[in-house]
């Protein structure tokens, strides 16, 4: 009960996503905060994702009736209350026990899809049972194809409505914050990490009592490494750099429901994916965590949209921290956005209450921005809202 009240108090005093980020920084040791917050190498792409939205300005219309605004959209044939989806994020439980399910429950409460990562610290089945809602499953492409196919079958049996294939990760990026902090997989309690943890006693107490959680979907992937930390590292050792268009077609044939492809940055790739029969494309550079120097996603978005040719919806992932960013993306032609760090910061700061507060902030800002721009229906916003 005390923890619930504390979480509610922390969530209530946050007025923007940055407030939740700072609360997460206070709760987490540096090694953990930087794991979630950081990007690859010099973090140019991480910064560029945010900057692309900041440098895009709106041209409001006036004298429109905006007493009531409609934020609902059609997404993969079903209604979503807002043009927002939760992006897949791995290792959430390392920062906050139960964080995956907390974010999934928040998404269900707000009527938006939640995407479970292959490397989540809750299983496909646990999330389906604890947080029934619009569930998508994100699959990393593993060298062990039989194991991958079993994961996909488990998602089908658990009634996940969509499969998200991440195609931009043939090898992991070089995240220098993690290297400097001593964060490695398998995770080791070095003197540096131990000292960092001591200075964050609430987080350290949970780890001391319960240890680090497993990446539940990966149990059995690396039989020689049965520990939780080694299971987490198994994904990095088992990315399949041979994955190609033919293999993607096989997965398209294997999966009977909606197929979403994440990690697209070029028009030609978008056209081929539409030709193949994929159901949606996500413009993403993995949140700036892999290839530093990659173009900002909101800058790459118009080209990918042209490649899709209006045949399938295109969403944008990366850099969304404000509700007005969602409106900008929709004005540019996106069906919606994916958010990862925003709800991560919320969950790290205050569990489910924090994740819900992140969504409350973003959706309130979206509705407010729509009114201030003279937009009554987010589904009908057009490109003329964006200034030159």
Map out the domains of the chain as residue ranges.
2-385
How high is the pLDDT of residue 50?
97
Tokens at 233, concatenated = 């590292």
Look at residue 217 in the predicted model and tell me its pLDDT. Answer: 92
Give residue 213's pLDDT: 86
What pLDDT is attached to residue 199? 85
Catalytic residues, by residue number, are: 286
pLDDT at 47: 97
pLDDT at 106: 98
Q: Are 337 and 329 in contact (CB under 8 A)?
A: yes
Q: Indicate the pTM of the whole model.
A: 0.94
Question: Taking the domain 2-385, which CATH number applies?
Answer: 3.20.20.70
The per-residue pLDDT for 206 is 87
Residues of the chain short of pLDDT 70, as ranges, are 1-3, 184-189, 222-237, 388
pLDDT at position 231, please? Answer: 44
Report CA-CA distances (Å) from 130 to 11, 123, 211: 22, 11, 22
- The predicted structure's pLDDT at residue 239: 80
Tell me the CB-side half-sphere exposure of residue 145, using CA atoms within 13 A.
8
- Which residues, listed in sequence order, are joined to residue 165 by a DSSP beta bridge? 139, 261
pLDDT at res. 275: 95
62-65's contacts with Cβ under 8 Å and 24+ in sequence apart are 62/374, 63/374, 64/374, 64/375, 64/376, 65/376
């Amino acid at each position: 009960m005390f923890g619930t009240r504390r979480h509610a108090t922390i969530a209530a005093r946050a007025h923007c996503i940055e407030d939740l980020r700072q609360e997460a920084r206070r709760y987490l040791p540096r090694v953990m905060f930087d794991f979630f917050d950081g990007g690859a190498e010099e973090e140019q792409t991480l910064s560029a994702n945010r900057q692309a939205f900041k440098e895009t300005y709106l041209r409001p219309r006036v004298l429109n009736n905006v007493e009531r605004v409609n934020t609902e959209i059609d997404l993969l044939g079903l209604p979503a209350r807002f043009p927002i989806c939760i992006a897949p994020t791995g290792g959430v439980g390392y920062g906050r026990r139960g964080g995956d399910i907390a974010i999934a429950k928040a998404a269900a409460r707000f009527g938006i899809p939640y995407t479970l990562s292959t490397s989540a610290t809750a299983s496909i089945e646990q999330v389906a049972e604890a947080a029934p809602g619009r569930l998508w499953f994100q699959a990393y492409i593993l060298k062990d194809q039989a194991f991958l196919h079993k994961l996909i079958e488990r998602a089908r049996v658990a009634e996940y409505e969509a499969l998200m294939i991440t195609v931009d990760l043939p090898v992991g990026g070089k995240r220098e914050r993690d290297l400097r902090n001593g964060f490695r997989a398998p995770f080791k309690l070095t003197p540096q990490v131990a000292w960092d943890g001591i200075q964050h006693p609430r987080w350290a107490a949970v780890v001391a009592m319960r240890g680090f959680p497993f990446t539940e979907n990966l149990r059995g992937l690396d039989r020689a490494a049965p520990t939780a930390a080694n299971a987490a590292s198994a994904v990095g050792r088992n990315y399949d750099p041979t994955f190609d268009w033919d293999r993607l077609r096989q997965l398209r044939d294997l999966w009977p429901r909606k197929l979403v492809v994440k990690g697209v940055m070029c028009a030609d790739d978008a056209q081929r994916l539409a030709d193949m029969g994929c159901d949606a494309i996500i413009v993403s550079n993995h949140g700036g965590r892999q290839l530093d120097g990659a173009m900002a996603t909101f800058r790459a978005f118009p080209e990918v949209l042209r490649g899709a040719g209006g045949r399938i919806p295109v969403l944008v992932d990366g850099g969304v921290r404000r509700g007005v960013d969602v409106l900008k993306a929709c004005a540019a032609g996106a069906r919606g956005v994916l958010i990862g760090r925003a709800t991560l910061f919320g969950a790290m700061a205050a569990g489910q209450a924090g994740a819900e507060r992140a969504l409350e902030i973003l959706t309130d800002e979206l509705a407010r921005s729509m009114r201030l721009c003279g937009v009554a229906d987010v589904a009908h916003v057009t490109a003329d809202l964006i200034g030159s």
